[in-house]
Amino acid sequence: MDSKREVIAIIDFGSQYGQLIARRVREYKVYSQIYQPDVKAAVLARLGVRGIILSGGPASVYAENAPMCDPALFDLGVPILGICYGMQIGCKILGADIRPAQSREYGRTALAIADHTDLFSGLPEQTTVWMSHGDQVNELTGDFTALAQTPTCPVAAVRHKAGRFYGVQFHPEVTHTPRGADMMKNFLYDICRCSGDWQMSDFVEETIERVRRRVGDAAVLCGLSGGVDSAVTAALLHKAVGDQLVCIFVDNGLLRKNEREGVVSTFRNHFHMDLHVVDRAESFLAKLAGVTDPQQKRKIIGAEFIEAFKAEASTIPNAEFLAQGTLYPDVIESGSKDGNLAANIKLHHNVGGLPAELGFTLVEPLRDLFKDEVRLVGEYLGLPEDLVWRHPFPGPGLAVRVLGEVNESRLAILREADDILIEEIRAAGLYRNVSQTLAVLLPIGTVGVMGDQRSYDHVIAIRSVDTTDFMTADFSRIPHDVLGRIANRIINEVRGVNRVVYDISSKPPATIEWE
């Protein structure tokens, strides 16, 4: 981390909104970093943090083994904002009484603001906030000032008399708190005195210099997948080390229509990178024959990819480093083995995905960035817009969108349907408005009538979601006429399909991908 950079430290007590807090801070061009509750005040002091945010969390402050922070944080002399559980922890450490609430609050509620200085500067006397708590501050000492209340929470926001601790019993970081962004801005700019000068251009230049110093004259390998993370990683590494970068693209036979050609055109023909294309489609499909279990598919594809990558890497001289497109959410979500309190949502293929016996030193230039920030880096580096803003695509490719057995005939059906779907979403001007759109081939047949004859053919399911963080998502409200065009084209143009359905489930309980 650049010691000159303004940093807001976020202490994460297991909040489902921990990453969202970090993103909100960065939206105001202030760099944020998430830390575990056991981080020592001395560590943050050495980093020169401008402020600290204590996140919410599912625990009660009085529960056995409830997570605590270093009390010395409150002696650092930097502003601290406690959110929900973070407010309760801060108030408890500073002497207030915390009790279970007589009336728990979950959801939107009205906040009455009594003090409009600093944290609530510029806000109206009444505003809506998003509550989610069981405990709350029961009694304040004379060292605190109550700033706001709700109908069932008499102390919904506080300021310590020293002016260095602020607590709110609601979530200012979520969109359900309409004026929450103003509160965050007030904390960052007016209370922490941040200048908001963190820019992607600074990040790119810092990263380039750091990679050059670390790599020296050695070769760096990068596995290209066609997705935005690996693409931006490759572009950033190429800018740093030029011809020392060697990209490996494994064609596993599970790609979207024309994906291989697009990767070659962009990276070999346009950026003039050293690109090795490994054709292993037959091997992948042979290993997947007869396999229907989703997890087994993933294991087979992962193992086969490693073998293909290892074989090609062995032909490249002086290769000492392996670049991966690990993102900050990947690091956080896969971090439970390091004591992370947040749920271990999934094992990411980018975090420890390639085995240690490959013998390479990892280079992860994007590991401090969120997805939207990676896209900004891609734009800055001049990657094509279609690639930078491409919707997420799973590591196992179409294998987890072909439900049931994977074979070439079923893949061909899905490829054509998927291509029509994306083409129509783009034509309707919706591609940048929705977060992810995909087609799924179901392992069933249904009766239809085509050309005055009875048919019994495949079903294509369409899935499109809107989300900010991919942890929760709602189905996209695609206009019915657009859905109609998509269904008509797929049924008319893709042989073997006689029915198209639209998935209107949210996440949770459903996931975005079907497998």
The catalytic site residues sit at: 84, 171, 173
CA torsion sign for 438, 441, 444, 447 is positive
Unique residue bearing structure tokens 């997890």: 295
Question: Looking at this protein, which amino acid is placed at residue 486?
Answer: I
What's the Rg (C-alpha) of the chain?
26
3-state SS assignment for residue 164? coil
Report the alpha-carbon angle 472-478-484, nearest 5.
140
Unique residue bearing structure tokens 């009444």: 126
Q: How far apart are CA 416 and CA 436, in angstroms?
A: 18
Cite the beta strand spans of 184-270 per DSSP E.
Answer: 219-224, 245-251
DSSP 118: G
Unique residue bearing structure tokens 């670390």: 214
Tell which residue, 245, 313, 316, 251, has the closest CA to residue 278.
251
Do residues 156 and 132 touch, judged by C-beta distance below 8 A?
A: no
Burial class (CB in 10 A: 0-12, 13-18, 19+), 75: exposed
Cite the beta strand spans of 216-265 per DSSP E.
Answer: 219-224, 245-251
Token code pair at residue 236: 């950033």
SS3 content of the chain, % helix, strand, coil (to 5): 35, 25, 40
Q: How far apart are CA 197 and CA 34, in angstroms?
A: 19
Q: How far apart are CA 491 and CA 484, in angstroms?
A: 11
Do residues 155 and 136 touch, judged by C-beta distance below 8 A?
A: yes
Which residues are bridge partners to 245 per DSSP?
220
